[in-house]
Amino acid sequence: MPETNRPTGTHHRASILVTGAAGNLGREVVDRLQAHGARVRCLVHHQTGSRSAVESVVGDLTDPMVVRAALVDIDAVFLIWPLLDAAPAHELVAELVAAAPRVVYVSSTAVDDEAVRQSDPIAQVHADMEALLRGAGLRPVVLRSDTLASNARGWATQLRAGDVVAGSDVARTAVVDERDVADAAVAVLLAPHRDQLDLSPYVLTGPEVLSRAEQVARLGAALWRRLSFQSLPADLARSRMLADGRPGRLVEALLAASTCRPDSNRITDHVERLTGRSAGTFARWAIDHVTEFN
C-alpha cells in the first residue's frame, strides 16, 4: 500500500479523521489530538456543536459519499466499526484504499487468531474487520483493546438507587483505562513514519485481571460504599437490557459474549510500549470518576 504524497516533518500539522468521536474512547482521542495540535475532523451521526474547534462531517460510515468527503486531505483515520456485521464495510474500505491514509483500527483482545470462528458475534466482527482491512492492502495498525474501564459507566443509574449492580456476568479480563487506549492510539496516529511501527496487533490491557464483582468492589472502595455484584440469569438480563432500549441484536451479542467468551489472564506491556508509561489500574479510574456515580 503506497504512502500518500502529503508532506511530512515537524512543520506538517497532521489531519486526523476520528470515527466514534461521541463515545467514551473517541472523546478521549479527540481531546488528545487537539492537545497535540493536530487538525481533527469527526465523522458523526448528528451535529452537536459541542466542539467548536473540531470540524465535523455528518453522516454514516456505511455511506461511501459521506466517507469520501470525510477523507479529503486526511493523513490518518481512527476507526471504530459500530456494526455487528463487517459486510457493510466493503465500500468504506474501498474509500480508504483510494484515499490511502494511515488506518488505526480498534479491535478486541477477544479475537483468537487460531480460531476458525470466534467465540461470539462481537469478537467475530472484529476479526472480520481486521481481515477485510488487511486483505485490501491497507496495512492497518490494529489496537486490540481489552474491556474498557468506561463500560462501568453503565452501572451509574443502579448505583444512584442502591448498592447492588445486577447484570450478566462476563469473563475475567485485564480491564484497561480508555485514557490509556486513547494515548496509545494517538501515539500511533501521530507517528511520523508508518514503517517505524510494529504492524502486528498491539494488545492493550490493564495491569490486573478482574472479574465484574472485583470491578464493582474497587468502585465501591472509591465511593466509600460497600457495593456488590449480582449475576443475573440470561433471560432476566435480556429483558432488562431490552427495557433499557438496547437493540435486540446487540443484546443477543452481549449475552453470547457473556456465556461463550473464556476468561483471559493475558497482561501485556503494549500500552507502555506505545506511550512510554505503564497502564493505569481500574482502581485509579474509579477514583478519578467518582462524581459520575453519586
Q: What pLDDT digit, counting tens, does each position of 198-251 carry? A: 667 999 999 999 999 999 999 999 999 999 999 999 999 999 999 989 999 999
pLDDT interval class at 294 (50, 70, 90): confident
Query: Which residues have a Cβ under 8 Å from the Cβ of 233 and sit 6 or more positions away?
Result: none
Higher pLDDT: 6 or 156? It is 156
Answer whether residue 119 is part of any domain: yes
At 31 the pLDDT is 96
Answer whether residue 233 is part of any domain: no
> How far is residue 244 CA from its own chain's centroid?
22
Task: Summarize the confidence of residues 112-135 as an average pLDDT.
Answer: 96
At 43 the pLDDT is 93
Return the percentage of the chain with pLDDT > 70, whole number: 91
Answer whether residue 165 is part of any domain: no
Q: Which amino acid is at 89?
A: A
pLDDT interval class at 195 (50, 70, 90): low
pLDDT interval class at 9 (50, 70, 90): very low
The SS3 call for residue 187 is helix
pLDDT interval class at 54 (50, 70, 90): confident
Answer whether residue 164 is part of any domain: no
Q: Does pLDDT of 11 surpass 60?
A: no
Burial of 177 (0-12, 13-18, 19+ CB in 10 A): buried
At 5 the pLDDT is 39
Answer whether residue 261 is part of any domain: no
4-13, 103-112, 117-126, 281-290: which has the minimum mean pLDDT?
4-13
Task: Summarize the confidence of residues 49-57 as an average pLDDT.
Answer: 72
146-155, 157-166, 193-202, 245-254: which has the minimum mean pLDDT?
193-202
Query: Which residues have a Cβ under 8 Å from the Cβ of 95 and sit 6 or more positions away?
Result: 64, 67, 68, 71
Beta partners for residue 16, in sequence order: 40, 76
Q: Which amino acid is at 259?
A: T
Q: CA quadruple 235, 241, 244, 245: dihedral positive or negative?
A: negative
CA distance to 3, 181, 273, per residue, from 278 (Å) = 31, 12, 9
**Lookup result for grid cell 437490557:** 241
Task: Summarize the confidence of residues 57-74 as an average pLDDT.
Answer: 95
Give the up-direction half-sphere exposure of residue 282: CA atoms within 13 A in the CB hemisphere: 29
Q: Does pLDDT of 62 surpass 90?
A: yes
54-58, 140-144, 279-283: which has the minimum mean pLDDT?
54-58
The SS3 call for residue 170 is coil
Looking at the 3D structure of the chain, how many domains does it have?
1
Q: Which amino acid is at 110?
A: A
Q: Does pLDDT of 69 surpass 80?
A: yes
Are residues 108 and 144 in contact, defined by beta-carbon separation less than 8 angstroms? yes
At 244 the pLDDT is 87
Query: Which residues have a Cβ under 8 Å from the Cβ of 7 and sit 6 or more positions away?
Result: none
At 46 the pLDDT is 76
First to last CA, the chain: 50
At 13 the pLDDT is 80
Q: Considering the entire predicted model, what is its pTM?
A: 0.92
Answer whether residue 290 is part of any domain: no
Residue/partner pairs of 161-165 with CB below 8 Å, 24 or more apart: 163/220, 163/225, 163/226, 163/227, 163/228, 164/227, 164/228, 164/229, 164/230, 165/212, 165/216, 165/227, 165/228, 165/229, 165/230
**Phi, psi of 40, rounded to the nearest 5 degrees:** -110, 135
Give the CATH number for residue 103.
3.40.50.720
Containing domain of residue 118, as a range? 15-145+178-204+267-277
Give the total residue count for the chain: 294
At 207 the pLDDT is 98
Q: Does pLDDT of 39 surpass 70?
A: yes
Q: Does pLDDT of 27 surpass 60?
A: yes
Task: Summarize the confidence of residues 264-274 as an average pLDDT.
Answer: 95
Give the up-direction half-sphere exposure of residue 65: CA atoms within 13 A in the CB hemisphere: 0
Answer whether residue 159 is part of any domain: no
Task: Summarize the confidence of residues 156-179 as an average pLDDT.
Answer: 95
Answer whether residue 52 is part of any domain: yes
**Average pLDDT for the chain:** 91
